[in-house]
Structure 1
Amino acid sequence: MTLHPAAPDPASSQPSNAGSHTASVPMLAIRNIQVVYGGAIEAVRDVSLEVPSGRIVALLGSNGAGKSTVLKAVSAVLDAEDGKIEKGSILLQGRPIEQASAHGIVGLGLVQVPEGRRLFATLTVEENLVVGAHLQDRRNLAEARDYVFGLFPRLVDKRHQIAGYLSGGEQQMVAIGRALMSRPRLLALDEPSLGLAPLVVSEIFEAIQTLRDRSGLTILLVEQNASRALAIADYAYIMENGRVVLDGTPEALGRNADVREFYLGLSTQQGRTSMRDVKHYKRRKRWLS
């Protein structure tokens, strides 16, 4: 059974080439946003990016680069941490949402899976899924639940187990499944591989790719694991110190010497150490810390 997200406007439902940034309206467009915490700490400065319909766009960077802050701004959950969008705009299918409430944004079809999963630990797997379908009628709830169990078959036998007793990977599957229960147009994932074993990470990323390839779901993927993210993304942005410092297709970024060395762990040269090597070492220490 196929999960059908809330129907987008016909003109914007056709996937565009993520790398070309065509004139068609993207599913999500962030324009020069600045985010400040506590009225004093600038966490994000002049960040712009686009997420075309039906594509996976990766937002990469080390811990503290500002990636999660961008997601929180998009999902309208900055208030909980005394954060505020000081300037710029966020458009969902051309509609400004930077002043919308978190509940209103979910209603428009943008749903976030937060870092750390944040399940209702005392509820069962199925109860957690049902919580995510609070905007759906009974028929759509059943269809979405069947889709989630098809995407993550291992959850079928655990549907009546308490979520807090699941493994980290299984909890991540439930968190993604709960978000899918609302039939989103755009799924925002914050560090889905964090703390998971490599085999489980592979399973999670295969599911993310399936959501795009089979259901046409639009996905904004925030990740520190650059190699995994670039393997499935259509386009990527790299953040450092609250700013986007590089963007391009995975192929183009994979040919970039700095990206290969500092994000993919591929040494670009062997031999004697130069001052350039020392600077690169310091950058690596900062980017990978």
Structure 2
Amino acid sequence: MLNVNNVQIVYDNVIEAVRDASLSVDEGQIVTLLGSNGAGKSTILKGISGVLYPEDGDIIGGTITLNGESLIGRKPDEIVRSGVVMVPEGRQLFEPLTVEENLMMGGITRSRSGATEALENVFDIFPRVKEKRSTIAGYLSGGEQQMVAIGRALMSSPRLLMLDEPSLGLAPQIIAEIFAAVSDLSKQNNVSVLLVEQNAELALSIASYAYIIENGRVVMDGPPDKLMDNEDVKEFYLGFSESGHRRNMRDVKHYKRRKRWLS
């Protein structure tokens, strides 16, 4: 389905944010990208979505294809029409509009009947969004806004849904509800998901494959059970010491990566 091959992305023709990164997402698969802040995860999603230009970003090498067709150089709306939709970090709703108006903006590429059907599907996935359909989006809680943001993306019936930090700043109960919905979408609707998430343990719990990115490069990949058994992943991303006890995250954050991670 989606194939990213040796992609290189720079900002302002100077700053290399992603270097020779490769990854793939198969149909109906949930794939997660793990890495520290600034590793290049969000930049990869923006490159796939065609929205690097507002930040003077450019893809200067490699290929990005969806079912064999290149996405590089295509306009963002064309990429959405091809079936690839991103939910950005921070949700970015139209706050003065109602929940339903926000959702209908996501269905702008569909016919009226198609958008109406998609709206009902979103309400089935997120019942609390239906309860708030007439509420001004800016008055919603963070968790409700995230549900609306995901629902808005689903209005175009995507084949590939990309989520950038969906759990950021949310309560654990809301996070569990959102991740359960994402997992059900993949299983029941055959929607592929590319997930960028700081909560490694949570991301690995629903993913079928994972990539770890450091300094713009993929340094490790594999199925979740393999990565969760890796000592480096346990220490740097899951917060466990070599003895198996959970470390204080402040200690983990300041711990230096071993050189072989960047070899």
Give the aligned partner of residue 198 of structure 1: 172
Partner Cα distance (1:169, 1:64) in 2: 24
Q: For 1:248, which of 222, 243, 263 is the aligned residue?
A: 222
Residue 85 (str. 1) matches residue 75 (str. 2): no
Query: Counterparts of 2:210 and 2:105 in 1: how far apart (Å)?
Result: 32
Q: Which amino acid aligns with 1:267?
A: S
Which residue of structure 2 aligns with residue 230 of structure 1?
Answer: 204
Q: Which residue of 2 aligns with 1:214?
A: 188
Instruction: Give the structure 2 partner of residue 3 of structure 1.
Output: none
Q: What is aligned with 1:281? A: 255
Shift of 1:268: 1.9
Equivalent positions of 1:64-103 (< 5 A) are 64-103=38-77
Q: Call closer, same or farther: CA 1:132–1:257 in 2, change over 3 Å.
A: same
- Indicate the residue corresponding to 1:21 in structure 2: none
SS for the counterpart of 1:282 is coil
Alpha-carbon separation, structure 2, partners of 1:270 and 1:189: 31
Show the counterpart of 2:156: 182
Q: What is the letter of the counterpart of residue 178 of structure 1?
A: R
- The letter for the 2-side match of 1:32 is N
Residue 124 (structure 2) aligns with: 150
Residues 1:55 and 2:26 aligned together: no
Q: Aligned pair in 2 of structure 1 residues 270, 198: CA closer, same or farther (>3 Å)?
A: closer
CA distance in 2, matches of 1:257, 1:91: 33
Deviation of residue 211 (structure 1)?
Answer: 0.5
Deviation at 1:265, TM superposition (A): 1.2
- Partner SS for 1:135: coil
1:152 to partner: Cα distance: 0.7
Aligned-pair CA distance for 1:100:
0.8
Q: What is the DSSP-based 3-state SS (H/G/I as helix, E as strand, rest coil) of the residue aligned with 2:220?
A: strand
- Counterparts of 1:128-143 in structure 2 under 5 Å? 128-143=102-117
Shift of 1:84: 0.3
The C-alpha deviation readout for 1:105-141, integer Å capped at 9, x for no partner, is 0111100000000000000000000000001112211
CA displacement at 1:282 relative to structure 2: 2.4
Aligned partners of 1:116, 1:49: CA distance in 2, in Å? 24
The amino acid that maps onto 1:266 is: F
**CA distance in structure 1 between the partners assigned to 2:79 and 2:233 by the alignment:** 34
Q: TM-score, normalised by structure 2?
A: 0.93
Residue matched to 1:30: 4
Q: Which residue of 2 aligns with 1:116?
A: 90
CA shift for structure 1 position 269: 2.4
User: How far did residue 198 of structure 1 move?
Assistant: 1.1
CA distance in 1, matches of 2:4, 2:256: 31
**Distance in 1, Cα, partners of 2:183 & 2:108:** 26
In structure 1, how many angstroms separate the alpha carbons of the residues matched to 2:33 and 2:147? 21
**Residue 5 of structure 1: aligned partner:** none
TM-score normalized with structure 1 length: 0.85
Mark the runs of 5 or more structure 1 residues left unpaired by the alignment. 1-26, 272-276
Deviations 1:248-268 (A, max 9, x none): 000100110010111111222
CA–CA separation in structure 2 for the residues paired with 1:97 and 1:260: 35
Describe the SS at the equivalent of 2:5.
Answer: strand
Instruction: State the secondary structure of the residue aligned to 2:73.
Output: coil
> Which residue matches 2:248?
none
Alpha-carbon shift at residue 270 of structure 1 (Å): 7.5
Give RMSD over aligned pairs: 1.8
Tell me the equivalent position of 1:9.
none
* Dislocated runs of 4+, deviation >2 Å: 280-284
One-letter amino acid matched to 2:127: P
Matches of 1:116 and 1:270, distance apart in 2: 34
